[in-house]
């Protein structure tokens, strides 16, 4: 495993395991398999409705809590200062934990304009020691800048859709300038066309790896945190087996040049569903 050091000094595994679109009943065996494979960072969210399944896997794993890095998120409908504090308590109860390592705002939902108060509630949770770090998801530069201007604790990361067809170069540059990590959701474009891209498949063949492994390696070498998701045991292992090879600078350039600003998910500025 490779680790990154967040801007508050906390160490985080650079490769984690995501459980988006995993039913609660399926989350426990999937996370159990991930932990057995070697993953130590697990990413869930209130809206995924699988925090209990994740918590079950954690409780039955013979792994010290201090070796795990658990992330969850506050949903749009629970934004606002008091709502966020209550939502956090609910998530903690479902996970069966005393604290989480990272708590995130799931979307800025700018139409409702609650994300500053939401973040201030998260600052309290951080100051009270109930979370080890706080951050955001799906924030554009203008959302981040407002947070930096109006709040006290700098977010440690911004979890956004990112893959070779949506490289997020401008956002990455801004975040790097402010010592905020990018964490990639949908890192494999949800199994989309990018896995069949000719350049990706050629690089996979050259390195004796799968297209998915090449893309995950690209994320890692771009200094991004990455959280691929799968419920298939063989795929869970495959996605983890990315630390025994390196892409060359030329390989990286080839993948970087695939960017075409193609999204699978919504634009953050337009995602206001509650």
Entry pTM: 0.96
Q: Give the C-alpha separation, 90 to 191, whole Å.
A: 32
Judged against a pLDDT cut of 90, whether residue 191 lies above it is answered with no
Helix (H, G, I), strand (E, B) or coil at 164: coil
Mean pLDDT, the chain, as a whole number?
97
Structural domains in the chain, sorted by start: 11-262 (3.20.20.100)
For 55-108, the pLDDT digits (tens) are 999 999 999 999 999 999 999 999 999 999 999 999 999 999 999 999 999 999
pLDDT at 260: 95
Q: Measuring CA to CA, which residue among 114, 108, 74 is closest to residue 91?
A: 74
Contact 164, 200 (CB under 8 A): yes
Judged against a pLDDT cut of 90, whether residue 4 lies above it is answered with yes
pLDDT at 150: 98
Q: Measuring CA to CA, which residue among 51, 106, 146 is closest to residue 265?
A: 106
48: annotated active-site residue: yes
Using a pLDDT cut of 90, give the percent of the chain over it.
98
pLDDT at 199: 98
48, 115, 126, 165: the catalytic one is 48
Is beta strand 3-5 parallel, antiparallel or unpaired with respect to 11-13?
antiparallel
Judged against a pLDDT cut of 90, whether residue 8 lies above it is answered with yes
Q: Measuring CA to CA, which residue among 59, 4, 73, 16 is closest to residue 40?
A: 16
pLDDT at 55: 98
Judged against a pLDDT cut of 90, whether residue 172 lies above it is answered with yes
- As a whole number of Å, the CA-based R_g of the chain is 18
Judged against a pLDDT cut of 90, whether residue 192 lies above it is answered with no
For 20-57, the pLDDT digits (tens) are 999 999 999 999 999 999 999 999 999 999 999 999 99
């Amino acid at each position: 495993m490779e680790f990154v050091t967040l801007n508050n000094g906390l160490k985080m595994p650079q490769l984690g395991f995501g459980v988006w679109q995993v039913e609660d009943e399926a989350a426990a065996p999937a996370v159990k398999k991930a932990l057995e494979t070697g993953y130590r960072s697990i990413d869930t969210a209130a809206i995924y409705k699988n925090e209990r399944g994740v918590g079950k896997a954690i409780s039955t794993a013979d792994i010290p809590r201090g070796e795990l890095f658990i992330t969850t998120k506050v949903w749009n409908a629970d934004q606002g200062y008091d709502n966020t504090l209550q939502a956090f308590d609910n998530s903690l109860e479902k996970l069966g934990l005393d604290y989480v390592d990272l708590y995130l705002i799931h979307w800025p939902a700018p139409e409702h304009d609650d994300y500053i108060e939401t973040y201030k509630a998260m600052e309290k949770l951080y100051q009270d020691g109930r979370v080890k770090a706080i951050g955001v998801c799906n924030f554009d530069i203008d959302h981040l800048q407002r947070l930096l201007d109006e709040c006290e604790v700098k977010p440690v990361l911004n979890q956004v859709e990112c893959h070779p067809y949506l490289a997020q170069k401008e956002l990455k540059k801004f975040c790097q300038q402010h010592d905020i990590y990018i964490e990639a959701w949908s890192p494999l474009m949800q199994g989309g066309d990018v896995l069949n891209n000719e350049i990706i498949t050629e690089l996979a063949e050259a390195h004796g790896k799968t297209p998915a492994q090449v893309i995950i390696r690209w994320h890692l070498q771009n200094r991004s945190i990455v959280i691929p998701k799968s419920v298939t045991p063989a795929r869970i292992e495959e996605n983890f087996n990315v630390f025994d090879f390196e892409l060359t600078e030329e390989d990286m350039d080839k993948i970087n040049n695939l960017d075409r600003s193609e999204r699978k998910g919504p634009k953050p500025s337009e995602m206001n569903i509650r």
